[in-house]
Structure 1
Amino acid sequence: MRVRIARRAGFVASLALAMLAAVLLPSPAVAAPQFAAADEATVQPGVVTNTEGAECTSNFIFTDGTDVFIGMAAHCAGTGPATATDGCTSESRRLGTEVAIDGASQPGTLVYSSWLAMQDNGEDDVNACTFNDFALVELDPADVSITNPSVLSFGGPTGLDTDGTESGETVYSYGNSPLRGGVLQEKTGVSTGTTGGGWSHQVVTVTPGIPGDSGSGFLDADGEAFGVLSTLAIAPLPGSNGVTDLAMALDYANTHGGLGEVSLVEGTEPFAPSLLPLGL
């Protein structure tokens, strides 16, 4: 009897130690996505996305540590008229919709839309409903190895801007609308300030954003990603653009998107904007 008790006690002790080790020891690290070199990549921020005929420009690369996403504007998956800009009421294609990505071998998948998330969340903040215009498209795993997170032409991003823009601050963007015919994609300009409770920045660039540039990313003077092109404005400045604040949009996605913690991937190439007004 004593032998049996001793054996049982030893088994219990071993089990307890194993359970303790499982709690205390770190879990195996998840391998970071392996990206292509910038000069070999065919998918980068600034390539064109096509959502059932709606062509837009992608902004930045994101990851949750396992899956890789490319960003676009939520309205690029909208199904209503061009005047439907309230994300809390405007109709959108469902999650799971395939999105063609220039340079990718396989279509991506729409896995987050700020419009759908706000509607599911019963969002009633007017500024969020008006300006939160952000979506994530998951890349097919086969295309991660041909992707690089550096913004076309400019390099960067060097990080995520979390304090918005001030009036007069220099900004940069790469708009790849098919209407441009492969020219004048690089844009530089200035911010005219932050509005909408921090949700939106008005910018004036040479050249201004046009249809097809929607979703393109904006960088500040330090190369930090601060925004996503959302609207073409006729007031207060004709030709100005409304830019969704990326930090706020990403925080909303992480809180209400159901994807876990998604973060911006910094570029492998240094941020190197032109010294001259681009597009001139």
Structure 2
Amino acid sequence: AGQCTANFVFSSAGKSYLGAAAHCAGKGEATQTDGCKSDSYPLGTEFTIKGADHPGHLAYSSWLTMQKRGDKNQDLCAYNDFALIELDQDDVAKTNPSVPHFGGPTGVRTEGLSAGDRVYSYGNSALRQGVTVFSPKEGVSLGDAGGGRTHTVTTLSPGIPGDSGSGFLDSDGRAFGVLSTLSLTPIPGSNGVSDLRLVLDYAHDTVKDLKDLRLVNGTEEFHSGGLPLL
């Protein structure tokens, strides 16, 4: 597993989690995106979290859950890309659920996206070597696919390796997705974003301890402006 970006903060049964992409715990190449077949590190694997005093632990992986259940649905296997990293209780109090730069999230979007809808994200790839001017992203949806399980988006700047797992917001600050793939079609440099509502529904339905899993809203008001000129 390489470096990835967390998306949002979640809570369930008194525990707090950072959301991530399941492929961030994968053992294979970045091109291995079939979550029903790709190898993954096990639950309990430690993750170093920037700014935390203690490591987090892999508490949920949609990939591991699909493999345990024997899921075969092609769209589910390709686009159900979500994981939870449990935070140490000593780190919870200093964890801000707000998305850097934009604020929010204001809730979970429950409907799909139309082509042309505005989208916002914040990536924290180590490839930027600490230069955060390119971390905030604004762009548009190119439409949905996979039965609504994935959204193709194009942003300035595009998501790059290390941004995987970062969250996406709509124009109302609602969380709608998790950065999953770098795409060559329909536009080179576009990204595939797993639908957040559907990955949460899957976790609710398949893992007893996560039936009450919920998004923690940001404490800072969402605003869509203020991006630097590139």
User: TM class by shorter-chain length?
Assistant: over 0.9
CA RMSD after TM alignment: 1.1
Contact 1:219/1:226, CA 8 A, preserved across alignment: yes
Deviations 1:190-241 (A, max 9, x none): 0001100010000000000000000000000000000000000011110100
What is residue 185 of structure 2 aligned with on the other side? 235
- Report the count of equivalent residues: 227
* Amino acid in structure 2 at the alignment position of 1:153: H
What is residue 117 of structure 1 aligned with on the other side? 65
Equivalent positions of 1:201-240 (< 5 A) are 201-240=151-190
Higher Rg of the two aligned structures = 1
Give how far 1:259 is off.
Answer: 2.2
Give how far 1:83 is off.
Answer: 1.7
Q: Which TM-score applies when normalising by structure 1?
A: 0.79
Higher RCO, Cα 8 Å, sep 6+:
2
Which residues of structure 1 form unaligned runs of 5+? 1-50
Contact 2:18/2:85, CA 8 A, preserved across alignment: yes
Alpha-carbon distance in structure 1 between the residues aligned to 2:8 and 2:202: 17
Alpha-carbon distance in structure 1 between the residues aligned to 2:123 and 2:170: 15
Alpha-carbon distance in structure 2 between the residues aligned to 1:257 and 1:78: 20
Percent identity, aligned pairs only?
56
What is residue 247 of structure 1 aligned with on the other side? 197
Counterpart pick for 1:70 among 15, 18, 34? 18
* Amino acid in structure 2 at the alignment position of 1:138: E
Deviations 1:138-189 (A, max 9, x none): 0000000111111111100000001021110000000000111223000000
What is residue 197 of structure 1 aligned with on the other side? 147
Structure 1 segments (4+ residues) deviating >6 Å? none
Contact 1:168/1:191, CA 8 A, preserved across alignment: yes
Deviates more, 1:64-73 or 1:168-177: 64-73
Which residues of structure 2 form unaligned runs of 5+? none
Q: Which TM-score applies when normalising by structure 2?
A: 0.96
The answer to whether the aligner puts 1:169 opposite 2:112 as a matched pair is no
Contact 1:206/1:279, CA 8 A, preserved across alignment: no
Equivalent positions of 1:265-276 (< 5 A) are 265-274=216-225
Counterpart pick for 1:263 among 214, 217, 221? 214
Alpha-carbon distance in structure 2 between the residues aligned to 1:75 and 1:95: 13
